[in-house]
Amino acid sequence: MPAAEPAPAAAARERGRELLAQYQCGACHVIPGVAAARGPVGPSLAGFGRRSYIAGTVPNRPETLVRWLVAPASLVPGTPMPNLGVSSADAQAMAGYLAALR
């Protein structure tokens, strides 16, 4: 039987899920566990935690994912991913949720 997840980690991941809904990421992406996240424009984020790359070119690491969520064009100039005004703290929580999608 797997050990229970520490409460702070579970709470942070839940906060990330809530923030993905708040920033309306589901307008473009399908995101498992996020209500109404059925967007047809961007790629599905199902299994995101298993991916090697963000946007097909940027290594999928926690620090780069946070940077991507805060300022996507700083990593991939001309990306269609919009800058949504995500704070670094919010991006860290969102990245935690996305990394857990296996």
Tokens of 38: 């059925």
pLDDT at 47: 97
pLDDT in tens, 57-101: 999 999 999 999 999 999 999 999 999 999 999 999 999 999 999
Split into its structural domains, the chain has a count of 1
Whole domain around residue 27: which residue ranges? 7-100
Instruction: Answer with the residue of higher pLDDT: 74 or 9.
Output: 74
Query: Which residue in this structure is represented by tokens 């589901």?
Result: 26
Look at residue 1 and tell me whether its pLDDT is greater than 60.
no
pLDDT at 9: 86
Q: What is the DSSP letter of 44?
A: P
Q: Is residue 62 part of a domain?
A: yes
Look at residue 5 and tell me whether its pLDDT is greater than 90.
no
Spatial CA neighbour of 45 closest among 66, 20, 63: 20
State how beta strands 53-54 and 58-59 pair: antiparallel
Average pLDDT over residues 17-30: 98
Dihedral-angle region of residue 85 (phi above 0 means left; psi in -120 to 50 means alpha; beta otherwise): left
For residue 82, give the CATH number of its domain: 2.60.40.420
Q: Is residue 1 part of a domain?
A: no
Q: Is residue 20 part of a domain?
A: yes
Contact present, 68 and 55 (Cβ < 8 Å)? yes
Spatial CA neighbour of 56 closest among 79, 86, 74: 79
Q: Is residue 2 part of a domain?
A: no
Q: What is the pTM of this model?
A: 0.91
Question: In whole angstroms, what is the distance from residue 83 CA to residue 86 CA?
Answer: 8
